[in-house]
Structure 1
Amino acid sequence: MAEKAKVYFTDFRCPSWRENLPQKLARLMMTAGFGDIEMEGKYVAVKMHFGEPGNLAFLRHNWARVVVDLVKSQGGKPFLTDCNTLYVGGRKNALDHIESAYLNGFNPYATGCHILIGDGLKGTDEVEVPVEGGEYVTAAKIGRAIMDADVFVSLTHFKGHEQAGMGGCLKNIGMGCGSRAGKMEMHSAGKPYVKEKKCVGCHACAKICAHGAPVIENGKCAIDQNKCVGCGRCLGVCPKDAIEAANDEAPDILNKKIAEYTKAVVAGRPCFHVSLVQDISPNCDCHGENDAPIAPDIGMFASFDPVALDQACADAVAAQKPLPGSVLFDKDSGCDCGRDDLLYANHPDTDWKVCVEHGEKIGIGTRQYELVKI
C-alpha cells in the first residue's frame, strides 16, 4: 500500500487577538514544510485566479500577500501568475487580465509583488512540455513564464465547477497554466469556429494564421478545419470575439487532460500547494457573477501533494449538507444522489473523482492522505 501523503488543515477560527487569519495561514504553511523549500535567489511562480470582474467569490489579495511574504522571507523572487482565457471576458489578453486583477485588488502595493501573465499578451507565449505517461496529452502547452520559474506554488479557491465537477488544485494548475492552445486542447477534440453574425471580415485572423486556415468570403470568415492546427491565435486577435473554441470534450476526458497538464507543470521542480475552502460557489470564478455558497466555509489546507490535497478538500465538502438559500437547497436535492456527495449533487453530469484518480494513476500524487490538524 502506498504511503499516505500529509495534508495539513486548520479552520477559520481566530478566537484570540494573538493571531489573525493571514497569520494562521502562514503558520499552517510553515508547519506543512513550506520553509524547507530552497528559494534563495530563485523565481517563484504563485499561481492563482484573479477573479473575473463581477465575481466576488475569488480569493482576496490578502491571502496572496501571505504567500508572497513567506517567499520573500526565504530569499525568493515571487510573482503572481495566471494564463489568459479562451472565452470572452476580462482576462482574454494580458492587458485586460492585469487590469482585471488590479480592479480586484491585486496591485503590487497590496500583494507585495508583480503580476506576470504566464502565456503573454495574446495567450501564445508557450512552452511544449512532454507529459510522461500521458494517455491524452503527449506535450502540454504551458505558459512560458510559469515554466521559467524555479519554484511553483499554487494558491487555490476550492469550489464547484460546471465542467470538472470541482475547481480544486489540479484544475487551478492544469487548466489555469495552459496557454490558449493548451486550453483549447483540453476543452476540445475539434478546432475553433466562427460565429458568422459577429464576423466583420477584417482579416485579422487571416493575417495571424501561419497555415491559411481562415478563409474570407463575402465579407465573412470560415475556418478550414483541414488546415487549422488548433493554436488559438485567431481567438486572441479577433476584435469582435467572433471566433470561439469548440467545447465538445466529454467531462471525463477533460478531467484526465487537466491531470496530465498538471503533471507537465509540477514535474521536476519544487512545488507546494494551498487550498482555501471558503465561499464555496457552485461554479468557477471565471463567471462574471457568483451564486450563493453551496456549503459552509471549512478551512485552509496545505500539502506538497496536489492529488492528496484535492482529495482532502473534496472529502470535506462532499460530506456537507447544502446551505439554505443555495442552489442545492432550492433544488431540495440534499445529498440524495446515491453517492452522499455534495459536489456530485451540484453537477451530476460530471464526476470530480476522475481527475484525482487519473492524477494518482500518472504519478502526480496519491489519494491516500493523513489529515494533520493544527
Structure 2
Amino acid sequence: MDKSKVYYTNFHTTFSENLPQKLKRLIKTAGMEQIDFQNKYAAIKIHFGELGNLSFLRPNYAKVVADLIRENGGKPFLTDCNTLYVGSRKNALDHLDTAYENGFSPFSTGCHVLIADGLKGTDEALVPIDGDYIKEAKIGRAVMDADIFISLTHFKGHESTGFGGTLKNIGMGCGSRAGKMEMHNAGKPHVAQETCVGCHACERNCAHGAISFQEKKASIDHNRCVGCGRCVGVCPVDAVETDCDESNDILNCKIAEYTYAVVKDRPCFHISLVTDVSPNCDCHSENDIPIIPNVGMFASFDPVALDMACVDAVNSQPVIAGSILEKHGSEHHDHFTDVHPDTNWKTAVEHGVKIGLGNKEYELIKI
C-alpha cells in the first residue's frame, strides 16, 4: 500500500498571512477542493468545548472551513452529538447554549450549528458495518444525512484512549447516546437509587418495559433493556447512569469501527490542529496547561495517517516545564503513554488499519 499524504504547516505567520489564511492555504493544498461540494450538505464535525474548558479550537478555524465549502457551492454546518455524561452538552438545548457561549454561532462561523442526535441524544441512524465489535453503529442522524463529512479536530491527550485525535473526534463524537454507551460498555445503564426522585419519566419513555419501581425508586431489568439511552436523556436529576466497564483497548477498537461507519461510502476530509495539547479531553470542565509547545496544522484524506502524523509530531516535541508530563517523567519515551500509562493509543490506529479505515504509513508534506 502506498503511503498516505498528510499535509502540514506550522503556526508561524508573516505580515502577509495570518493563521486563518494559512489554514485555508493548507486545506486547499491538501486537496479539499477536489470534493464536489456543489449543492451538497457538508457536516463539519467539531468539539464545541465543555463550559470551563478553554483549550477547544477557536471558532475562527471553523469559519475558514465553512467559508471554503461555501465558496465551492456547498451547504456547511457545524455539528456534534450530545454527551453521555452529565455536563453542559448533555442535551441539544444545553449543547447549543455552550456552543454559543464558546463562540460558535452562525455570525462568527458563517454557518449554522446542528446537534446531530437531536434534543435528547436519541435521534440516530443505524449504520451496518459488521465489525469485530460493532455490527450496527448508532450515529447521530444529521451526521449521516450529510452528503459530505469534514472533521476538524483539536489534538490532545485523553485519559481513556491515550490521545484524542481524528478517530476519537469522529468515532466517539458522532455516536448517539446509545452509540456512546455501546462504545464504553455493554450499553446497559443503571439507576443511582439515592438520586432517583420517582418521577417515572424513565418508565414512560421505555419502549421495552425494562423499568420498574419499588418504594418509589426506579430499577432497570437488563434482560429487557436494549441500551437505547432514552432513560438517560429524560431523567431530570441525572439518576440514570452508565458504567465505563469496557477495557481501554476495546474502547479504542470500537471507536475505530464507529469512525469507519461515519466515513464509509461518501467524500470525507480531515483536519487536525496540534495546539494547546492538554493532557485530558476537552470534555472536562477544566483544562490543564499544555504538555508540549504548539506544533502546527495537519490535513489529509486519511484519518489514520493523520492521527499517526500528529502523534509523531507530538512525540518529537520537548516537554513543557511544570506540565503534568514533566511530573510523570519520560519512562516510556512516548508523551501520551507517559501521561496515561494505563492506556494504549496504538490499538485504535492498528484496528483502523485492519478494518480498512486508513493507512498507518504516511508521507508528510510541509507547506
State the TM-score, normalizing by the size of structure 2: 0.99
Mapped partners of 1:123, 1:216: distance in 2? 24
Aligned residue number for residue 2 of structure 2: 3
Aligned residue number for residue 61 of structure 1: 59
Deviations 1:19-74 (A, max 9, x none): 00000000000000011110000000000000000000000100000000000000
CA contact (8 A) 2:80 2:173 kept: yes
Q: Say whether residues 1:341 and 2:334 are aligned partners.
A: yes
Q: CA deviation at 1:191?
A: 1.0
Q: CA deviation at 1:219?
A: 1.2
Aligned residue number for residue 330 of structure 1: 327
Deviations 1:248-279 (A, max 9, x none): 00000000000000000000000000000000
Q: CA deviation at 1:131?
A: 1.1
Mapped partners of 1:369, 1:328: distance in 2? 27
Provide the identity percentage: 65
Aligned residue number for residue 218 of structure 2: 221
Q: 1:39 aligns with which of 37, 40, 43?
A: 37
Q: CA deviation at 1:190?
A: 4.9
Deviations 1:322-358 (A, max 9, x none): 2111112123x1x222xx2101111110111110110
Could you list the runs of 5+ residues in structure 2 that have no partner in the other structure?
none
Aligned residue number for residue 366 of structure 2: 373
* Corresponding letter in the other structure for 2:276: D
Mapped partners of 2:88, 2:315: distance in 1? 31
Mapped partners of 2:85, 2:201: distance in 1? 18
* Corresponding letter in the other structure for 1:122: K
CA contact (8 A) 1:319 1:342 kept: no
Q: After superposition, where does 1:1-374 map in structure 2 within 5 Å?
A: 2-14=1-13, 16-132=14-130, 134-331=131-328, 333=329, 335-337=330-332, 340-374=333-367
Mapped partners of 2:200, 2:84: distance in 1? 20
* Corresponding letter in the other structure for 1:169: T
* Corresponding letter in the other structure for 1:336: E
State the TM-score, normalizing by the size of structure 1: 0.97
* Corresponding letter in the other structure for 1:345: D
Q: CA deviation at 1:318?
A: 2.1
Q: CA deviation at 1:214?
A: 1.4
Could you list the runs of 5+ residues in structure 1 that have no partner in the other structure?
none
The list of structure 1 runs, each at least 4 consecutive aligned residues, that deviate by more than 6 angstroms after superposition, is none
Aligned residues: CA RMSD: 0.8
Q: Give the length in aligned residue pairs.
A: 367
